[in-house]
A and B are shown apart, each in its own frame.
Chain A
Amino acid sequence: MKDGPVHGPRSLLPLRLDAVTFAVAGRRIVDNVSLLLDAGVRTVIVGPNGAGKSVLLRLCHGLLQPTSGRIAWSMPELPGEARRQAMVFQRPVLLRRSALANLTHALAVARVPRAERDARAREALRKVGLEPLAGHPARVLSGGEQQRVALARAWALHPEVLFLDEPTANLDPGATHEIERVIAAMHASGTKIVMVTHNLGQAKRMGDEILFLHQGRALERAPTAQFFKRPASPEAAQFLEGELPW
């Protein structure tokens, strides 16, 4: 079974943001951001608290509408069509059903034929190492296991793009390692990764390129090694000094 996303003439990517601004009560949380996200490289978004990282991710994913500016996919998803992008949140929201049923529910929403759902869901659970817990109620799993179920749910959908909003912020190092392994495997299977993290060690491990946000503006975008060695903006340099990279 093919487990990667379907690329080709109908690919979503690249995603183009054109002077995107998101303001609440006059305060610009995302301020005039223009960028192009294309397939392949893993993009990690870093920046201080309140820089607008999570909001930018939600704008890209379509959970928020920009106040001004334009967000355009190369081949937009059509209304009524299954989504070809997925998002994993800081706190996983799982339904009061088994881990497996959480995945098959997502596949049903995505209009995957009933006959395929079970096999696809089990395959995804196997890839995150949770197949033995397929029948367990999802909400009583440990925090790390719940986040892996959330990742499996995203993976089962074979998304072209996966957005992650601090997926390991609430997890211990062991669980974090597991999550990072799964994200790397999804990347290897061809899914574009766009991740927000507070953990600079994680940014170094997981990012091919870094997008640095500061007060709602995209100040810098550079290959990971270059960003950490020679940040181009004084704000980024100050941010890297202030944060402990562990």
Chain B
Amino acid sequence: MNAPVILDRRRVLAGGGALIVSFSLTGAFAQDQGAPPTAPKPPGSLATSPYLDSWIRIDADNTVTVFTGKAELGQGFKTAFQQIAAEELDVAFDSLKLVTADTKLTANEGYTAGSNSMHNSGVAIQNAAAQVRALLVAEAAKRLDVTADSLRTENGSVIAQDGRRMSYGDLVASDMLHVQAQPTSRLKDPATFKVMGQPIPRVDIPAKVTGGMAYVQDLRPPGMVHARVVRPPSYGAKLTDCDTDAVEKMRGVVKVVRDGNFLAVVADKEFQAVKAMQALAAAARWQEIARLPKQNDLPAALMALPARDTTIFQHSDTSVRGSKTIEATYTRPYQAHGSIGPSCAVSQFIDGAMTVWSHTQGVYPDRAAIAEMLRIPPASIRLIHVEGSGCYGHNGADDAAADAALIARALAGRPVRVQWMREQEHAWEPFGPAMVTKLKGSLDDGGRIADWHFEVWSNTHSMRPGGAGAMLAAQHMAESIKPPEPKPLPLPEGGGDRNAIPIYKFPNARVVHHFIPDMPVRISAMRALGAYHNVFSIESFMDELALLAGADPVEFRLKHLDDARSRDVIEKAAQEFGWRKGQQAPSDRGFGFAFARYKNLAAYCAVASEVEVNRETGRARLVRAVAAVDSGQVVSPDGLTNQIEGAIIQSTSWTLYEAVTFDDTRITSIDWQTYPILRFDAVPDRIDVHIINRPGQPFLGSGETGQGPAAASLANAIANATGKRLRNLPLTRKRIKDAIDA
């Protein structure tokens, strides 16, 4: 029998264990080479990281470790990935260990974003697990001298018809798993699933509800010191003077770090760092620039900026003509990710090697950016993802990682923990971009949409690193690195134009993307990107046209939709809500409906809402929401439900309350009083999520699919309740009251 491979770090460092050695020596970069371009590629992220042992390793003691390059952000995928691996490998769920994004250990899967984790990493793990199981079965067949077809697998063992069994640990040999994945795998029949599709409790929740180590904020390596950054008061401000003497003498202060406009202080204890930061902020003198647009005139200011225009969709049928035409303009302000825990990172620089623990969404791109900032080779940096507070896109995570790295370099040897203050997160996070959409539509004589015209004005929706210049520390340090050139994100996923192309079938349709390169306010990716506003606009306007046609909103949508799965979620949500043609909501209440398929290629989601509107105050409250979602083959049904519930509540908060505020120089929404979000007094009575499972169908990302439909459903319900259409986000109490009184 071949010697089993012991997969521990010591063996790796000692050079033993061929299976690991080849992984370690080739390193993560080599994994990107992939198969030759002519060969069909294996699915998901196996296409870019094809070696099976990049995903799954089996220890001689039967420990199975699964690796993913994606980062757990609170969306619960760790549990889902573990379910997938347990199912396809035939091992007990609890016996698996899962290692997430770490530049030393896992494949490069870029960013954990765009609802792509299941579709990239979940698919890779599923196929790698199936292929690993097949290799183990083949090995057992050889050793037992039977045919592979006569063997079955169960609970980490291969079992022969005569009852002989061999554990995976016994079977795995030297480099057995260091092989490239095949383009296709023999996946299990969904009808036989035992783990996938089951509501398995999330693996991360016990620590989170008992005070266990769960977040980067909880790391305390020996000798750790605490740092706080003094950020400039506004974009582009220059540090003209700062007398640091008094601060350096404060109790516990270890060092003041000044590098151009980057200013930070390090202290032994955390609150000493906070007090020193306050003293340092008081001592700093800045020269500011008044260059922000007028907030009250934001849509006009945005549309006045130079734009690059692209017609991204055009369809015409001159035989169909509209007779009744309406137009409408919808706007969205800048909105904040608003993580409850401000961004945090820990970094240590020893003998030229940097380790950074961060809640970044992309360990590899972040590593490259920090390497560029510090002018050291990427290979000398290890970026380890550790969960932080939920991010919902690109918040301050990467910036905090850069802060920690820059400070740690100045304090060689000591682990440095940086945590942002609340007002720093609120003022400096890259916001979700402001957007404007203009719609025009015509109905034919039969009450069908004959002509649809959609234009969207937006900045880019990602300024993630991609380059050190995307990070504040690199922008602020003396040898400043400029932010990278903003780029529109390519379709079919898109950025500002995400979901701008209607899923409905119209005889004549035209969609134009006005990409605005200039960014007066710091922006980047926020959950659903442009889809939030585009779906809000499309689905609001569908209701406006339905009203013009005198049609029921659900019936009107179905009339323009031939895709069966789209129709199914719409019909499911309508039915479970109790939607009826000609229905009448109770007094001061309204019903609303909306639907989208995220990115027109991920999960389908329909949301029906009931709201109540206080006509005296204008206050709107979501009373109940019923959602139907189709995300293909379901892995973790409760995890999916949790995502959709969360999307509806978060989107309700964005839609009713949220706008970043600023004067001509500074961001003025700097805490939860100046940037209010939804609180428990506004939580609906109930949210029901109905899942349409599609056994054997591809996983469809669902983390962001609810944002747009929830917003439009709410807006449509408010219009139904008040008889007034609100088109400018957020739909505040004042705007609703003004509309009622108008």
Query: Are A and B part of the same complex?
Result: no
Interface residues of A (CB under 8 A from B): none
